[in-house]
Amino acid sequence: MMQPYRLLVPVGVLVTISLAIPIPTSGQTFSSGSTGADGALDLTSGSQTIQVPPSGVFNYTTVNIPVGTTLTFQNNLSNTPVIMLAQGAVNIAGTINVSASGQNPGPGGFRGGDAGQPGWGPGAGSPVNAQPYGIWIGPLSLVPNIGGSGSSGFYVGPGSPYGWNCWDGGVQPAGGGGGGAITLASSASITVSGAIVASGDSALGECNVSPFRGFGGPPGAIRLVANANNVSGSTSASVFRMEAPAGSNSFTGSGTTPVIATINPLIVPANPPSLQIVSIGGYQVPPGSGSGFSTIDLLLPNQLQDPIAVVVQATNVPVGSPVTINFSNSGGATYPPVNLAGTTASSGATVYVSNLNRNGVSYLFVSTTFSASLVSKNLNPFGPTAVNTIELATALGRPTRYRFLKRDGSEISPSKLPPDLKLVFGL
């Protein structure tokens, strides 16, 4: 009689993803999740500038911006986007402004580059190519929301497509900052008869003593989520998204044409993407598995017939992503193609594996991969924070580890990531 064969479930479960994660919509009555802890925001007494908290999230009961008043924000140290949650109605008859100011971005946007230097952000402008202007790059779902990337600083001199003007005796301007990002979510309704502005800006310099401005930064992004949206005012953004139940979005305003959609209930991503092996051959994988290559995680009976079912579960990974298993010491193992099914919040797949090595230890590694082009407007090769790929690795029963990679495969320190990515991964 043959001995039972042993299966060593992975030390690492690897997930390769990209910049953004799409989230499913819901037809149910929407709740913003506001705790009401910040009370009512009412600018009846006049315009205000509010400090953005470290989380970027405000929890209001109601919001009222009357005609003739303007709400602006002081960026926090992490420069997170603004998320305003309200239990009741949001009324904007005045102005909410998350625009850039010169080189400095709006909240959630990216800074313009110094003179002769590239801007910051995934869509940053570069001073020595044909794209000096920053552009907006982010998930079209605006989950997470993200502002515009900075333009490059003005560059003249050797190699510049702009010649030699201002090379002597001039002050070359910095690049303009990108407009900010704001999400307004109400458990009741959002009415905009005034304006929401997320414009980019430009920085001032001198050319032979005459003032002139450098490359302007792009607008940011605006997202409205409520049980009813009515916009008759104006908006300025690269992307403007209105989400409400079918038939409850009304736009008669001006400015940026909105994307009309049903509600995506996720306002702030709460759980980072993850992937795990749940069971093999009908046997539950112990929670402490994957602690080392010297430990047998699961001992399967030899009489178990092919194919052997490997059940995988994923959280916040796009449905339809292909699931792949790599084997060590089981070179002849095979399985048919399979994709994740369910919802982005919770999906799964069963992989039917045949011809595992039954005379020794087999190592299984499960992975799933998808491209940012599926959910992102563009992939930008420029800028110091241009993240192209994200790898997630976890030992079963252990916290997930992340690696953030550029297009050339080099790693970016988590401390240098844009605020939106830090928010997604809880960093």
Parent domain of 360 = 1-23+269-427
Q: Are 183 and 226 in contact (CB under 8 A)?
A: no
The reported pLDDT for the residue numbered 410 is 76
Q: Report the pLDDT value the prediction gives residue 288, as an integer from 0 to 100.
A: 55
| Per-residue pLDDT, 28 | 46
* pLDDT given at position 17: 32
Of the candidate ranges 24-33, 61-70, 90-99, 349-358, the one whose mean pLDDT is the lowest: 24-33
- Tokens at 376, concatenated: 């992102």
Least confident range of 34-38, 179-183, 188-192, 254-258? 34-38
Let me know whether 231 and 311 are in one domain.
no
At 287 the pLDDT is 60
Based on the structure, what is the number of domains in the chain? Answer: 2
Which of 25-34, 145-154, 217-226, 398-407 has the weakest average pLDDT? 398-407
Strands 249-251, 389-394: pairing is unpaired
Q: What percent of the chain has pLDDT over 90?
A: 33
Does one domain contain both 287 and 236? no
Q: Are residues 223 and 371 located together in one domain of the fold?
A: no
Whether the bond into 144 is cis, omega within 30 of 0: yes
Last residue within a domain, chosen from 265, 297, 319: 265
DSSP structure string for 148-186: PPPPPPP--STT-TTTTTTTTT-BPPPPPPPP-EEEEEE
Residues 304 and 216 in one domain: no
160 and 295 assigned to the same domain: no
Same domain assignment for residues 56 and 155: yes
Segment 342-387, tens digit of pLDDT: 877 688 889 898 888 777 777 777 777 654 344 333 334 455 556 6
Q: Rounded to whole angstroms, how far apart are CA atoms 215 and 137?
A: 17
Same-domain status, 230 and 274: no
Cβ atoms 414, 422 nearer than 8 A: yes
Q: Averaging pLDDT over each range in 153-167, 277-291, 413-427, which range is the top one? A: 277-291
In the predicted model, is pLDDT for residue 85 greater than 80?
yes
User: Which comes out higher in pLDDT, residue 113 or 130?
Assistant: 113
Instruction: Please write the tens of the pLDDT for every residue from 303-354.
Output: 888 898 888 888 777 778 778 777 777 778 888 989 889 877 688 889 898 8
Amino acid at 324: T
**Do 253 and 286 belong to one domain?**
no
Q: Do 243 and 351 belong to one domain?
A: no
| Residues 30/187, Cβ–Cβ less than 8 Å | yes
Yes or no: say if 285 and 297 are a contact pair by the CB < 8 Å rule.
Answer: yes
Q: Which of 211, 244, 265 is the last residue of a domain?
A: 265
Same domain, yes or no, for 205 and 279? no
**Among 204, 238, 265, where does a domain finish?**
265
Average pLDDT, stretch 235-249?
Answer: 95
